[in-house]
Copies of this chain bind each other. A is one copy, B any other.
Amino acid sequence: MSRMFNPPHPGETLREDILPALELTVTQAAEQLGVARPSLSRVLNGRAAISPEMALRLEQWLGVENGGRADLWLAEQASYDLWQARRSFKPKIKPAIAAAKSNTAA
């Protein structure tokens, strides 16, 4: 299941796979993507998330045919975000079923 491993930050994929394959520097990639270099750097090093806008930039830049589908980038980001949220957020919520049962009992 998807809960069994620590999903990588999408920026990691970008930094380790995409940029080397294109033989591009961070500076060049930032220029081509139309974003500031520090902004891209933050994404590459996991300090900022892939925003919907950034996902669209990547899609237009890489092309949907080349693994650049915006929804996939966003899905990976969501997977990463959820994983992080699971470790830092522990809500204690009574299941709706239980609540419904006590409702039925009443």
Q: Which residues of A approach B to under 8 Å, CB–CB?
A: 2, 22-24, 32-34, 52-53, 55-57, 60-63, 66, 70-71, 74-75, 77-79, 81-82, 84-86, 89, 91-97, 99-100, 103
Known: A56-B86, A91-B56. A61 touches B96 (CB 8 A): yes
- Distance in angstroms from A67 CB to nearest chain B CB is 11
Q: What number of copies of this chain does the assembly contain?
A: 2
Known: A91-B56, A93-B33, A100-B22. A74 touches B82 (CB 8 A): yes
Cβ of A85 and Cβ of B53 under 8 Å apart?
yes
- Distance in angstroms from A17 CB to nearest chain B CB is 13
Cβ-defined partner of A96 (8 Å) among B63, B74, B78, B103: B63
User: Would you give 11 A-B contacts (Cβ < 8 Å), ordered by A?
Assistant: A23-B100, A32-B94, A32-B96, A33-B93, A34-B91, A34-B93, A52-B78, A52-B85, A60-B92, A61-B93, A62-B95
